[in-house]
Structure 1
Amino acid sequence: MPKKKYQVEFSIKSSPSLLYNYISNPSGLSEWFADNVNSRGEKYTFIWDGHEESAFLMKSKQDSYVRFQWEYDEDTKYFFELTIVEDDLTNDVSIVITDFAEEDEVEESKQLWESQIEDLKKILGSV
């Protein structure tokens, strides 16, 4: 069954460079995205409650975005991307999540991102 692409955007009070550290490196990701994150080169291992999932860092641009692809999606076009957007006029910073989910799991997936971004905001003191 094909997955559906969706995007969610969250306003975050943070500088792009600080935010980038939390979305791009294992120690930053392990503070809000997973219980623990390890990396060997482009391969990242995410651990939740003893369960491991591996993803590959496909693309990244300093202070701008990261794109990962789950190992189980390796031969597909599916990925998840975290993009940092800074408004030129207001300097407000947002994070835009692009992800894929089964049609009947999109809302649940969005809620999971919402919960994780709330954790990120608490760490950044941006609540």
Structure 2
Amino acid sequence: MSSKVRIDLEFPIHASPSFLFQYISTPDSMGEWFADNVNSRGKKYTFMWNDSEEVADRLAQKTDVFIRFKWEEDEDEDSYFELRIEVDDLTKDVSLLVIDFAEEDEVEDSKMFWENQIAELKHVIGG
């Protein structure tokens, strides 16, 4: 099995880390930009888009800093997706870093997916 390629994307966002964290970690808020609907039971999050449903486990999180998920169907042990909030020490500018893994032939699609979702996030929060 081919191993996946790590993708690192950075998006400047005009929002406070605590406000932004709510949008990347709570099912209701994630349902406004990431998927059509999001439910969670404990560490299991179910993401729904149109007719498809994907389940991810929350592997780790640190309030106002990051949240990391792993798709249940992903057999690659080392892959996950992470949304990390970074604040520039000098300018105090806030960025959302997206770390994801994709098969080599799916890297561009994955980047496009995240660009679209983050554009939607910015639209929702006015950032």
TM-score (normalised: structure 2): 0.96
Once the two structures are superposed, the pairs formed by residues 64-75 of structure 1 within 5 Å of their partners are 64-73=65-74
Q: CA deviation digits over 1:2-61, x for unaligned, max 9? A: 111110000000000000000001001000000000000000000000211000000000
Match of 2:114 in 1: 113
Alpha-carbon distance in structure 1 between the residues aligned to 2:111 and 2:74: 19
Match of 1:34 in 2: 35
Specify whether residues 102 and 75 from structure 1 end up closer, same or farther in structure 2 by C-alpha distance, changes over 3 A only. Answer: closer
Moved over 3 A (4+): none
Identity %: 55
Output the amino acid matched with 1:100: F
Once the two structures are superposed, the pairs formed by residues 1-127 of structure 1 within 5 Å of their partners are 1-73=2-74, 76-126=77-127
Shift of 1:104: 1.2
Q: CA deviation digits over 1:37-87, x for unaligned, max 9? A: 000000000000021100000000000000000001266111000000001
Output the amino acid matched with 1:88: D
- SS of the equivalent of 1:114 reads helix
- SS of the equivalent of 2:98 reads strand
- SS of the equivalent of 1:52 reads strand
Alpha-carbon distance in structure 2 between the residues aligned to 1:36 and 1:47: 5
Answer whether contact 2:3 2:76 (CA < 8 A) is retained: no
TM-score (normalised: structure 1): 0.96
Output the amino acid matched with 1:31: E
Alpha-carbon distance in structure 2 between the residues aligned to 1:63 and 1:74: 29
RMSD between aligned residues: 1.0
Answer whether contact 2:86 2:94 (CA < 8 A) is retained: yes
Aligned residues, how many? Answer: 126
- SS of the equivalent of 1:82 reads strand
Alpha-carbon distance in structure 1 between the residues aligned to 2:52 and 2:27: 16
